[in-house]
Chains A and B, each alone.
Chain A
Amino acid sequence: MNLFSEAMAWLFAPERYTGGDALQTRIAEHLFYTFVAVLIAAVVAIPLGYFIGHTGRGREIAIGVSGAARAIPSFGLILLLVLLIGVTQKPLAAIIAFVLLGIPSILAGAYSGLEAIDRRVIDAARAVGMTEWQILWKVEVPLGLPLLIGGLRSATLQIVATVTLAAYIGLGGVGGYIIAGLALRRFDQMLGAALVIVALALVLDGLFALAERLVVPRGVAAGRTSDVRKRSPRARAVAESSAK
């Protein structure tokens, strides 16, 4: 009796794809909650992050907030918000929780992306007469894009994971199968759903990883070496002595 083959059997059973509890509906719900939450979190966090990164103001607060946010248990946060906002407003309460959980990563990605830029580049932009807005849009935003996408990536994965937990309050999503399976001791269903969730997370992660590479400005990509690590001292010594 292999649980994995049972999970596969559950996953590929024809009835899995029909009716109100169809897998594709659950996946769509899961993605819907994730995207709405990431979008709202991005709308809030990106301008704020850019403000912090461009002006350097409020940096300590941002670091403190993103550090402290990690300590907050997201499962508890969802349940707390549902009770605070009202059990009739579950989706709203859950989305607020997802947004709150997504904001710190995106904020960190936005401002660290700007902060990581060589100061001389910004000074050069200012020296050739760019206005502050031009510096932000034409220099800082493009150069900071990879780190911003990295922040969006972390936020998305965090939210995908939290949507799974939100199935506990009956929000739907793929996690619903696991919560229902726990009560019924249906391990094939739980495992099948868990594999779908992992696949979902990995696909989203892969898409963001791809995006992170694609948004590197051409001029920056050209000057980049493949190995960012320092070469070992011995190899360097050998290379130097043979060059003489």
Chain B
Amino acid sequence: MNWLGNNLDLILQLSIEHVRLSILPIVLGFVVSIPIGWVAYRFKLTRGLLLTLAGLLFTIPSLALLVILPPLLGISALSDANLTIALTIYAVAIMARSVADALGSVDPAVRQSATAIGYGSWRRFWAVEFPLAGPVILAGLRVAAVSTISLVTVGILIGTESLGYLFTNGYQRRIIVEILAGVVMVVVIALVVDYLLVLLGRLLMPWTRKQKLVRPQLERLTLATGAGGME
């Protein structure tokens, strides 16, 4: 137990680093998955293709992806960029599907009404379809965020320091508490971020607050995309 008391600074510092490494892939994944999800939703032909590709990317084990990306992109294997790109790919693989599903869940009558009162397709998308698809997109974002935060730890194998450092260091020094501290901190960060996303969703989409209809949808989606996951 002594280890814990002596290393609170280290845990805090690694946690901050962990959060820093997690944010970029989550944000990038969200931004990239919107156009991809839209294309998948809009055109029948690309739907199968894009969603199958996303599914296949998601099946690639993380350690293998971290080894394959550097020669493919010409970056160093031992760089933060490698981990960021790999995690962004996973995030897009999760979220592209939920964006496509979310846009598909918007009532066609609403879309038609927006067109009828003169919305162009660009403004209709941002002002009507995107907000209405919001709850389902948020569900995908939550899954992606939690799995990204947990996956960051794998980066320690290619030398990217995060809470994963506590795993390898604790294993080498045979300190159970050190590994446990790492696991607990990762779970805590994941749960806090998940909670913040829910809060953000309520803030940005106040109309979902009392709607019970959204819940089963969220759960189904979580099951479909999130039950698996790569590590």
Quick check: A70 and B146 within 8 Å, CB to CB?
A: yes
CB-CB nearest in chain A for B109: A233
| Interface size grouping (class) on chain A | 35 or more
Interface residue total, chain B, C-beta cutoff 8 A: 58
Cβ of B75 < 8 Å from any Cβ of A?
no
Cβ of B71 < 8 Å from any Cβ of A?
yes
Quick check: B143 and A227 within 8 Å, CB to CB?
A: no
Quick check: B176 and A164 within 8 Å, CB to CB?
A: no
Quick check: B176 and A83 within 8 Å, CB to CB?
A: yes
Choose among A73, A112, A182, A191 the residue that contacts B158 (Cβ–Cβ < 8 A): A182
CB-CB nearest in chain B for A175: B63
Q: Using Cβ atoms and an 8 Å threshold, which residues of chain A touch B63?
A: 161, 164-165, 175, 178, 194, 197
Quick check: A154 and B229 within 8 Å, CB to CB?
A: yes
Cβ of B67 < 8 Å from any Cβ of A?
yes
Given A68-B187, A182-B158, does the pair A76, B230 have CB atoms closer than 8 Å?
no
Given A3-B71, A194-B64, A233-B112, does the pair A75, B231 have CB atoms closer than 8 Å?
yes
Q: Using Cβ atoms and an 8 Å threshold, which residues of chain B touch A236?
A: 108
* A residues whose Cβ falls under 8 Å from a Cβ of B: 3-4, 63, 66-68, 70-77, 79-80, 82-84, 87, 101, 104-105, 108-109, 112, 151, 153-155, 157-158, 160-162, 164-165, 168-169, 175, 178-179, 182, 187, 190-191, 193-195, 197-198, 201-202, 205, 227, 229-230, 232-233, 236
A sample of 10 more A-B contacts (CB under 8 A), given A73-B182, A154-B229, A168-B168, is A70-B147, A71-B186, A79-B171, A104-B227, A108-B227, A154-B227, A168-B157, A168-B171, A202-B56, A233-B108
